[in-house]
Structure 1
């Protein structure tokens, strides 16, 4: 979990770096146009979709561990390329590669943790792992606040730090055990047994005795291409539901992550003021992650997700008010609630992984979450059309209101999904 957490931290760190870099000297140094800024934001999300699917397919075929190693390599290459960019084309290409690694990272981490944790605490364990990602979200604004103003190339150090740590994570991931569930569907029963015995031995030293082993449930072996397992009457509707709720949720998420500092600065806040208040609000990531952990397995998963989405809607409406009246206090409250909602919504990751069978779980998660990121990929162009920096107050307000409407739609969609809390994965998906 520590090794997974380090990856989560810098995956989420990397997601935020560009949003602060676009209000730094980088734009002038690389001679980027407004359209190229939107392209740099969007291309990372297209990379997310591509990487999530292809590396997840690797994970379904060759194992979760190899998928996790591939993720870290891609993030390191993309972040290093971003740090060394000499023009907009190099930056855009580097963000594509980094996006591929981040998309696969989130898909396979949630698949892996879901498969190696017991059903009664599955949500809690995913939440604790995500806490490291929440710290990444919370710390990144402070790192940007420290690095960007002190040097014309501070934005390069911002990207370079992520590359350095991602590269260091690669050898650590060789130490991780493979998912026993994946080993089982590949027919590697002896190796699966060794992994489980290792986990049992560790647990017995902490809590004696272990509860009785429940009777095994049938699990179909992987007999065809993983994606082909998803397009049928059982998994097809689940896949569509997950794609749609992620699509509208990511329209809000990446609209805010990619453009909130830009809109606030255009509306009259200075860079340091906007970044500082957003950084203060980012404490909400940690509060949200810790608040969800005790209840992650006590309330039905889809209702937890819906409650988090509702808080996110309130947060973005407060952003609209903050722009309209130029209120740093309301900006800070909105930033806190938005960060809180992001961390509070982690059950959405758990929920997505639970919807699909082991033989295609990583692929199912990657398609749902990856294709859902098309929402994040198109929203920069919607903002490009709606937001006018020459009239930042009224167009800024309407931009945030529109993002809130997208999140309301996501909330209604997720409520149509099946129940999963405290059920074994085989009960939910087979």
Structure 2
């Protein structure tokens, strides 16, 4: 008797494809937005150092800390709301809107006439920035083939290094050029407002989201577009029952989800605290320790370049070792880099240890963005990613504010020693994260540790 082949879902059809030019366009299209995001975040570290050097602004260390932190207040709110909106209205729509918001606000920041005005504009910038990152990573992860999904998301995250390097170039060439150099830097940061139009019309909407909303014809057209790029003959997929409701936040803490949520939030918090505490203050710390403004910016540029090989190695290992081992190793490496930087003495030691910290820290970021969308299924994916990012942004708010008192208490050695400790805690928290290397994105996310408590628990069951 002939056995009838099981119908293939659209998600399975996407998972079976090789990496094609359509995937490349999606990664580059999303990655350019990601790079512009990084450029904007990176610029503030150079603006802070420039304002510190200008006597007419008369900025105190406390005010400087708030200039560094206020954007992350907006990012915390933006990440949380952006994820919710992306699960309700679509990944592409929210991605485009966030680019528009932070692009316009960045341009407006170039006109800031006081510390208060700059704080307001930085908050609005953060609102758009925070929402963009989890939404973009969710969109890319939902299209990437299962066998290379982690590597593709790390590749997307690598655009962060491109943007931060661009910020370092602008900081090195533009900011020190005149008293208004920081204003010109912000003016250049308005580019995302223009790019938002490209995103809105050039990128596809998530197939999984379209199916969830009953927009089956659009979902089928999107899958066929990617199949055509791979030279694959389309097959019929089974009909679906559309859903008009998104899972609530309570599902993040339901039985079967709570351990991975707690672990994810812990890693996000620790990596945000150490990364932003270190890199937002780095040019200012170098300047305060005796480097000239130009030299401190030049060293920051070189240290930033070490991010690129960090991403490359993480992208290679994430499909060899898996998500959790790669993330844990790079977090431990980040802790070692921060510890060495704390003990660095002399220009060469500062440069080398800073590069080690940059290499491992950004590789860890790549692995974290790969594992985050895999922790939840479609109805909750963007919301879960956004909530984790939003919680992590609380640490990015606190970290720049903690640097001045830590400096007073024990100098830069204590500052980077604290950052090293947070990296270690983050590495320990990876124990509870899911591992979906090579599996479909809609597989039941789980980790060995969580299965000990709720092996058969559904992902979105009611709270116990």
Length-normalised TM-score, structure 1:
0.91
Q: List per-residue Cα deviations over 1:257-299 (Å, max 9, x = no partner).
A: 1212222222222222222122112221111222233333221
Contact 1:55 1:70 in 2 (8 A): no
Match of 1:363 in 2: 383
Tell me, what secondary structure is at the counterpart of 1:428? coil
1:330 equivalent in alignment to 2:349: yes
User: Cα 1:422–1:214, aligned 2, differ >3 Å: closer, same or farther?
Assistant: farther
Q: Equivalent residue of 1:261, what SS? A: helix
Which secondary structure does the structure 2 equivalent of 1:46 belong to?
helix
Aligned match of 2:421: 405
1:231 corresponds in structure 2 to: 253
Q: Which moved more, 1:287-296 or 1:348-357?
A: 287-296
TM, length-normalised to structure 2:
0.85
Q: CA deviation at 1:108?
A: 0.4
Find the partner of 1:347 among 332, 351, 367. Answer: 367
- Whether 1:422 and 2:438 are equivalent positions in the alignment is yes
Output the CA distance in 1 between the equivalents of 2:156 and 2:432: 27
Distance across 2 between alignment mates of 1:378 and 1:68: 26
Aligned with residue 82 of structure 1, among 84, 106, 109:
109
Shift of 1:89: 0.9
Q: Distance in 2 between matches of 1:428 and 1:215?
A: 21
Instruction: Mark the CA change 1:411 to 1:166 in structure 2 (over 3 Å): closer, same or farther.
Output: same
The Cα of 1:30 is off from its aligned counterpart by 3.7
Q: Which has the larger radius of gyration?
A: 2
Q: State the distance in 1 between where 2:422 and 2:443 align.
A: 32
By how many angstroms is 1:222 displaced? Answer: 5.2
Stretches of structure 1 that go unaligned for 5 or more consecutive residues are: none
Deviation sequence 1:357-415 (CA, Å, 0-9, x none): 11111110011111112111112222222113xx8xx5111111111111111111112
5+ residue gaps, structure 2: 1-26, 446-458, 460-464
1:194-213 correspondence to structure 2 within 5 Å: 194-204=221-231
Paired residues for 1:127-146 under 5 Å = 127-146=154-173
CA deviation after TM superposition for structure 1 residue 72, in Å = 0.4
1:156 matches 2:172: no
Q: Is the 8 A contact 1:116 1:179 kept in 2?
A: yes
Are the counterparts in 2 of residues 65 and 176 from structure 1 also a CA contact under 8 Å?
yes
Partners of 1:104 and 1:366 within 8 A in 2:
yes
Equivalent in 392, 399, 417 of residue 372 of structure 1? 392
Cα distance change on mapping 1:17 and 1:130 into 2, 3 Å: same
User: RMSD of the alignment, in Å?
Assistant: 2.2
Instruction: Name the SS of the counterpart of 1:237 in structure 2.
Output: helix
Q: Which of 130, 145, 156 is the equivalent residue of 1:118?
A: 145
- Aligned pairs, number: 417
